[in-house]
Chain A
Amino acid sequence: GENVEQHPSTLSVQEGDSAVIKCTYSDSASNYFPWYKQELGKRPQLIIDIRSNVGEKKDQRIAVTLNKTAKHFSLHITETQPEDSAVYFCAASRGRYSTLTFGKGTMLLVSP
C-alpha cells in the first residue's frame, strides 16, 4: 500500500519567514495530493491540493509543488503569520474518491 513520509515533524519560524514542509510517497499510481491544516481539537481542513498533471499550484501565500519522478511534493508558506500555527498533514491518493494516506504531520509554530 501507499506510504507517505513527512518532514520535519516540527518547524518553528519567525513571523514573516517562509516555511517549507516536504512529503514523499511510494505508490506511483497516486495522482492526487492534498494538504490539510488542523488546529488543536478541530477537523482537518483542506488548504490546497494538486493533481499529478500539474507541477505547481499557488493560492495567495500558499503553494504546492510536485515532482512525480522523484515522488515528492512540498508545501510552501510565505510571509508566515501567527495564525498559520497548526499541524499540517500531507496526503496522497489514487484519485478523487480514493483512500487518503496521510503523513504523520508537521507542527508549525510561527512566533510573533
Chain B
Amino acid sequence: EPEVTQTPSHQVTQMGQEVILRCVPISNHLYFYWYRQILGQKVEFLVSFYNNEISEKSEIFDDQFSVERPDGSNFTLKIRSTKLEDSAMYFCASSGGTAGDSNYGYTFGSGTRLTVV
C-alpha cells in the first residue's frame, strides 16, 4: 500500500532556530497538506497545496511558516523562527486527484515530533 513518508521522525530545536520538515507524498497524488497535533489535543489544519501553490491556510499558518515543493517528490514545511508553542506532532498528508481515482480521502504520514526547547 502506498505511504506518505516523513522525515525526521523527531526533531529537537532551540527556540528561534529554523526547522524544515520533509514529506514525500504518494506519487500520483496532487493535493498536499500539513496538519499539526499538540500533545493530547485534536489534529489542526495548517495549509493545503495544489498545483504548486497554497490553496488554503489556517490562522495558525502565519508568516513564520512556509511550504515548498522543491522537486517532483518532496513537500516541505519550514518554520523560520521556532517558538515553544510550535512544539507538536506535524503530519503531512496527501490525497488523490487523478481521473478515476476511487481513493476518497487523505493518507497521513507517520509524523514528525517537533520539540522546541
Contact of A97 with B95 in the complex, beta carbons under 8 Å: yes
Q: State the interface size on chain A (CB cutoff 8 A).
A: 22
In the complex, how many angstroms separate the beta carbon of A100 from the nearest chain B beta carbon? 7
In the complex, how many angstroms separate the beta carbon of A51 from the nearest chain B beta carbon? 7
Q: State the interface size on chain B (CB cutoff 8 A).
A: 23
A32 vs B103: C-alpha distance when bound (angstroms): 13
Total of A-B residue pairs, C-beta within 8 Å: 53
Contact of B41 with A46 in the complex, beta carbons under 8 Å: no
A58 vs B42: C-alpha distance when bound (angstroms): 25
Specify the chain A residue showing the minimal Cβ separation from B48.
A99
With known contacts A43-B91, A99-B56, A105-B42, A32–B104 Cβ distance under 8 A: yes
8 A Cβ contacts from B71-117 to A? 91, 95, 97, 104-111
Specify the chain A residue showing the minimal Cβ separation from B41.
A104
Q: Does B43 touch A at the CB level, under 8 Å? A: yes
A5 vs B58: C-alpha distance when bound (angstroms): 19
With known contacts A43-B110, A49-B104, A97-B50, A89–B42 Cβ distance under 8 A: yes
Q: Does B45 touch A at the CB level, under 8 Å? A: yes
A43 vs B112: C-alpha distance when bound (angstroms): 10
Point out residues on A near B: beta carbons under 8 Å: 32, 34, 36, 42-46, 49, 51, 89, 91, 96-105
